[in-house]
Chains A and B, each alone.
Chain A
């Protein structure tokens, strides 16, 4: 059955590579690599772990300082990514629209604020902890701040399904558009690094957390922590100017059942974690050509949104195929499959 398509009319990317499309295209051209070293107290003593870390300061270009004052870093990541997507689409802020839905996919939510709130509980034993930190610690804080900054009165959703967050949230975003609940959806994946995550990488993976990411080294743990925000402005096919192309099909399946269209470039979410490697390996064997963009942005649960956005940008370059199939697997062998067709030239190739 052919599904009605959605068009992508704006892209906003923030990651260790920098902010915006140009920064991403430069990373694509030169090869991505971790841009930070995060101090971690490991079992064998203090050490540094590589990471893809974001500088959120460019958010000040979009939001006045007073509005940023109470915003946590997780929300700033989201606001920066969303603002870039809207700017890319030529939409001015604030939107002041009720017909725009907001969907955020996040593996771990506002983890820094969660632990900051615990800090305030522990530090102020016997007193009330910080209400501002508490309000910001919930996963929906990014969506709440975004709705306030953009003055969006439409429906709003935050999904937390670990690696399956993007495909799960996209199933709903797509439905909102097809049912006419909204005219457009601002869809974003947001995840952030925090000290506990560094500790987990050290304890779970040891030297395997030292990178660099080798997505096709199936038997080798090479994941490197990543953070960032990837936003897509989505509209129904036919409604907007299809700047980048379209999402043709979104499906949740089991990796053993995933069917990869033979004419598509397979974009694997393989990010150096061996626990998903057997599924990615099997999927890669079904395809004539495959690629992984994870070395550009790191390992993070919402990476599939990055993959779609990067594929859309990369496909604008004439040498790339025009149909792509993005897959993301989790430890239970669930598999998110997103088929897209890209290729309407719009930007100058790098």
Chain B
């Protein structure tokens, strides 16, 4: 693969999830080791979930149409990221700005109430369809800020947020846009929750990534967004560069529609691509923000692959704080990875107590200092799509 040697500056971060309503609050929660678990009734039983705090949801979140929640989350995260980057609406409207948002729930028409009425022949109102057609997350971000550049809503399932950031960087490098708002957004949704229950990969207790007794994931909601900007644009306005995205890889397992390939060959290829693009070797990576969902299969793949590829490199999952936010996960974890580079430490992998004898990988069990400049974040999705992002911290 050709190396692009085109690290793209990150000039803004935005994040909201169960761990907090803004980046600083999320970081504070993670390093304080707190998690706020809620319980949600799904099909008559109670399951742990990671919702947003009701006081920190975006305006209209609960009052407006449910299908617009993903878009509202993306807009809220984008607003924080743009504010942090010092970008005003007037400036943005004079530039070519792209929007690339990954999601799972946000692209699907799965309004249960509408469909029940439709099925029963009750001729439901068409309003939910109208709302769905207005709810495309990337389009909602573009409309919220009056942007006219390219939009892309990525529906790669749980790798969507990471893929969105990788592709947005490609657009910026190629001059398709001067700046891109990229990340992921997803909401809690009963239909999706029922789906994960059907797959028997939902932990009835708060999730325990990489722990021997893990039973699966807990769903969460939120959004994580970065502002990616060309070097020329960042220099022109003397922007503060928070980090650089220097490597991106995306590869398929070609194995199974819902289970990861056990040896992690697709994930390994995605990581190799990201390293090649960044012109780094495995020894240059200082920590890994793992996908770490808490499912037996996913954690097994990462728990075997990390020690083999990156011996001695500390890793941890932050899903114990955020839940699995599906298409948002790659975006939220990209933001967390940059925060870790800035704070020169990574949070403890909450939920981990007992090592799994089936694999050698052990996540960090306490907040751990890091010395170097490179953090890797990976995501693994349904259907075997894998993504790896490498960020370089600023000295």
Interface residues of A (CB under 8 A from B): 41, 43, 70, 98, 102, 106, 108-109, 111, 114-115, 117-119, 121-122, 125-131, 134-141, 143-145, 147-148, 150-162, 164, 167-169, 171-172, 175-176, 178-181, 195-196, 199-200, 203-204, 252-254, 331-332, 334
Residues on B with beta carbons closer than 8 Å to the beta carbon of A153:
251-254, 265-266, 269
Contact A172 B170 (CB under 8 A): yes
Contact A159 B152 (CB under 8 A): yes
In angstroms, Cα B176 to Cα A139, docked, is 26
Residues on A with beta carbons closer than 8 Å to the beta carbon of B154:
157-160
Cross-interface CB contact of A126 among B43, B116, B155, B381, cutoff 8 Å:
B43
Known: A153-B251, A172-B170. A160 touches B156 (CB 8 A): no
A104, closest chain B residue (CB): B155
CB of B60 within 8 Å of the partner chain: no
Contact A138 B143 (CB under 8 A): no
Known: A169-B152, A181-B1. A155 touches B110 (CB 8 A): no
B329 CB to nearest A CB, Å: 14
Count of CB-CB pairs between chains A and B under 8 Å: 205
CB of B372 within 8 Å of the partner chain: no
Known: A41-B123, A153-B266, A161-B152. A144 touches B384 (CB 8 A): yes
Cross-interface CB contact of A171 among B155, B163, B176, B255, cutoff 8 Å:
B176
Interface residue count on the B side (C-beta < 8 Å): 68
Of B44, B119, B195, B269, most A-chain CB atoms within 10 Å: B195
Known: A126-B43, A162-B133, A204-B126. A41 touches B121 (CB 8 A): yes
Interface residues of B (CB under 8 A from A): 1-2, 4, 43-44, 104, 107-110, 112, 115-116, 118-119, 121, 123, 126, 129, 133, 136, 138-139, 143, 148-157, 163, 167, 170-171, 173-174, 176, 191, 194-200, 249-258, 265-266, 269, 273, 381-385
Contact B384 A147 (CB under 8 A): yes
Contact A199 B170 (CB under 8 A): no
Residues on B with beta carbons closer than 8 Å to the beta carbon of A119:
119
In angstroms, Cα B118 to Cα A175, docked, is 42
Contact B150 A171 (CB under 8 A): yes
Residues on B with beta carbons closer than 8 Å to the beta carbon of A109:
107-108, 155
Residues on B with beta carbons closer than 8 Å to the beta carbon of A70:
257
Residues on B with beta carbons closer than 8 Å to the beta carbon of A175:
167, 170-171, 174, 176
Known: A102-B252, A179-B2. A160 touches B107 (CB 8 A): yes
Of B119, B170, B257, most A-chain CB atoms within 10 Å: B257
Residues on B with beta carbons closer than 8 Å to the beta carbon of A145:
257, 383
Cross-interface CB contact of B139 among A158, A161, A178, cutoff 8 Å:
A161
Of A121, A138, A158, most B-chain CB atoms within 10 Å: A138
Cross-interface CB contact of B108 among A114, A154, A253, cutoff 8 Å:
A114
Known: A159-B153, A161-B153, A203-B126. A118 touches B44 (CB 8 A): no
Query: Can you name 19 A-B residue pairings with CB atoms under 8 Å?
Result: A98-B251, A98-B269, A108-B109, A118-B112, A121-B112, A121-B194, A122-B116, A127-B43, A138-B155, A140-B156, A140-B381, A140-B382, A140-B383, A150-B254, A153-B266, A161-B153, A162-B136, A179-B4, A254-B148
Residues on B with beta carbons closer than 8 Å to the beta carbon of A134:
194-196, 198-199
Of B104, B136, B200, most A-chain CB atoms within 10 Å: B136
Residues on B with beta carbons closer than 8 Å to the beta carbon of A160:
107, 136, 153-155
Contact A136 B163 (CB under 8 A): no
> Can you name 17 extra interface pairs (CB under 8 A) apart from A175-B174, A181-B2?
A106-B155, A109-B108, A118-B191, A122-B116, A131-B198, A134-B198, A135-B258, A138-B157, A144-B382, A152-B252, A156-B250, A176-B170, A180-B4, A203-B126, A252-B151, A253-B148, A332-B143
In angstroms, Cα B386 to Cα A144, docked, is 12
Contact A129 B198 (CB under 8 A): yes
B198 CB to nearest A CB, Å: 4
Contact A138 B104 (CB under 8 A): yes
A335 CB to nearest B CB, Å: 10
Residues on B with beta carbons closer than 8 Å to the beta carbon of A106:
155
Contact B136 A137 (CB under 8 A): no
Contact A122 B109 (CB under 8 A): no
A333, closest chain B residue (CB): B148
A150, closest chain B residue (CB): B254
Of B119, B154, B249, B384, most A-chain CB atoms within 10 Å: B154
Contact A157 B167 (CB under 8 A): yes
Residues on A with beta carbons closer than 8 Å to the beta carbon of B382:
135, 138, 140, 144
In angstroms, Cα B171 to Cα A171, docked, is 8
Known: A102-B252, A160-B107. A135 touches B257 (CB 8 A): yes
Contact A161 B157 (CB under 8 A): no
B379 CB to nearest A CB, Å: 13
Contact B167 A200 (CB under 8 A): no
Contact B385 A118 (CB under 8 A): no
In angstroms, Cα B199 to Cα A166, docked, is 32
In angstroms, Cα B107 to Cα A329, docked, is 19
A332 CB to nearest B CB, Å: 7
B66 CB to nearest A CB, Å: 14
Residues on A with beta carbons closer than 8 Å to the beta carbon of B257:
70, 135-136, 141, 144-145, 148
In angstroms, Cα B108 to Cα A157, docked, is 16
Contact B152 A172 (CB under 8 A): yes
A134, closest chain B residue (CB): B195
Residues on B with beta carbons closer than 8 Å to the beta carbon of A168:
150-152
Residues on A with beta carbons closer than 8 Å to the beta carbon of B136:
160-162
A41, closest chain B residue (CB): B121
Residues on B with beta carbons closer than 8 Å to the beta carbon of A117:
110, 191, 195
Contact B198 A128 (CB under 8 A): yes
In angstroms, Cα B98 to Cα A164, docked, is 13
B324 CB to nearest A CB, Å: 14
Known: A147-B252, A153-B269, A154-B252. A161 touches B112 (CB 8 A): no
A105 CB to nearest B CB, Å: 10
B296 CB to nearest A CB, Å: 15
Contact B254 A152 (CB under 8 A): yes
In angstroms, Cα B252 to Cα A102, docked, is 10
B127 CB to nearest A CB, Å: 10
In angstroms, Cα B257 to Cα A12, docked, is 24
**A-B pairs with the 4 shortest C-beta distances?**
A144-B383, A180-B2, A139-B155, A134-B195
Cross-interface CB contact of B156 among A121, A152, A157, A199, cutoff 8 Å:
A157
B387 CB to nearest A CB, Å: 9
A174 CB to nearest B CB, Å: 8
In angstroms, Cα B143 to Cα A114, docked, is 27
In angstroms, Cα B170 to Cα A153, docked, is 20
A11 CB to nearest B CB, Å: 23
A305 CB to nearest B CB, Å: 15
Residues on B with beta carbons closer than 8 Å to the beta carbon of A158:
154-156
Contact B110 A114 (CB under 8 A): yes
